[in-house]
Amino acid sequence: MLQDFKNFLFPKLCACCDAVLLKDEPFMCTFCRNELPLYPNFFDGDHDLHKILYGRVLVDQAASLFYFEKKGIIQNLIHDLKYKGNEELSFHLGEWLGQILLEAGWQSKIDIVIPVPLHSQRMRERGYNQVEGFGRAIADKLSATYNDGVLKRKSNSKTQVFKNRLARTEVVQNHFYVVGKSDLKDKQVLLVDDLVTTGATLEACSLALKDLGVPKLNIATIAITK
């Protein structure tokens, strides 16, 4: 009864269109769910990330849930995730992709899940890393270790979503570093992020992780630019 009254006063809204959600709609209305631009091949050797990062980062396995387009519903979803503190959404998306990866046999291929980190200032502003729930849920599904203490960000840059590859690469180069002396040699690492555009952030993270003996990466993202 109390929960019903709370939902009446503060109804949950769709992360994509802000429509009031029904009880059986956890984070997205049925209409938007049916309109989702699902990535056609969730995981395979032809994933766009292999092409984007070719010659820059050795990518073993790659997976994404959605295609991202400007002014599309996934832009609204990512905005909700980043700026409205929707941690529940992050976890739901991780469970979704994590189940897909589990059924594809990734459980035996991943030892540790590492999120792309936020700068400490942005963490204070937002209160959480928008990919934490996503990464934790995937790690739970794959019975892997989740570790957000390995990789850190040196500087706090403005949003990079609409910058081209050269501009993004110049901004993020040397912006990540590893903490401690964790030995990840021969470990299968899954790096998780919310959105891939040019791949500059993932490239910078990869260079930092090489210091811990990570020769190539597995990557999972919520979305990738079409």
Every domain of the chain and the residues it spans = 36-225
**Which residue carries 């490239």 as its tokens?**
203
Q: Which amino acid is at 187?
A: K
| Nearest residue to 126 (alpha-carbon basis) of 167, 89, 82 | 82
User: How far is Cα 81 from Cα 153, in angstroms, rounded to an integer?
Assistant: 20
Tokens of 171: 């901004």
What's residue 73's pLDDT? 95
C-alpha atoms less than 13 angstroms from C-alpha of 14 in its C-beta half-sphere: 20
Record: fold of 36-225: Rossmann fold (3.40.50)
**Which residue carries 């292999």 as its tokens?**
50
What's residue 162's pLDDT? 47
Please give the model's pTM, rounded to 2 decimal places. Answer: 0.86
What's residue 214's pLDDT? 87
Tens digit of each residue's pLDDT, the chain (226 residues): 544 544 555 688 999 999 999 988 888 999 999 999 999 866 556 789 988 998 888 889 999 999 999 999 999 999 999 988 889 999 999 999 999 999 999 998 899 999 999 988 888 888 889 999 999 999 999 999 999 999 998 866 555 444 555 444 444 556 888 887 677 888 899 999 999 999 999 999 988 888 788 878 899 999 999 8
What's residue 170's pLDDT? 46
What's residue 44's pLDDT? 57
What's residue 96's pLDDT? 95
Beta strands in the chain (DSSP E): 59-68, 112-115, 145-146, 151-153, 176-178, 189-196, 217-225
- The answer to whether the CB of 199 falls within 8 A of the CB of 49 is yes
User: How far is Cα 80 from Cα 82, in angstroms, rounded to an integer?
Assistant: 6
What's residue 176's pLDDT? 87
Tokens of 42: 């969730």
The answer for residues whose C-beta is within 8 angstroms of residue 176's C-beta and 6 or more apart is 117, 151, 152, 153, 154, 204, 205, 207, 208
- The answer to whether the CB of 151 falls within 8 A of the CB of 205 is yes
Report how many helices (DSSP H) and strands (DSSP E) the chain contains, helices first. 9, 7
What's residue 86's pLDDT? 87
What's residue 169's pLDDT? 46
Task: Report how far apart the first and last C-alpha atoms of the chain are (Å, whole number).
Answer: 44
User: How far is Cα 135 from Cα 116, in angstroms, rounded to an integer?
Assistant: 10
What's residue 172's pLDDT? 54
User: How far is Cα 196 from Cα 198, in angstroms, rounded to an integer?
Assistant: 6
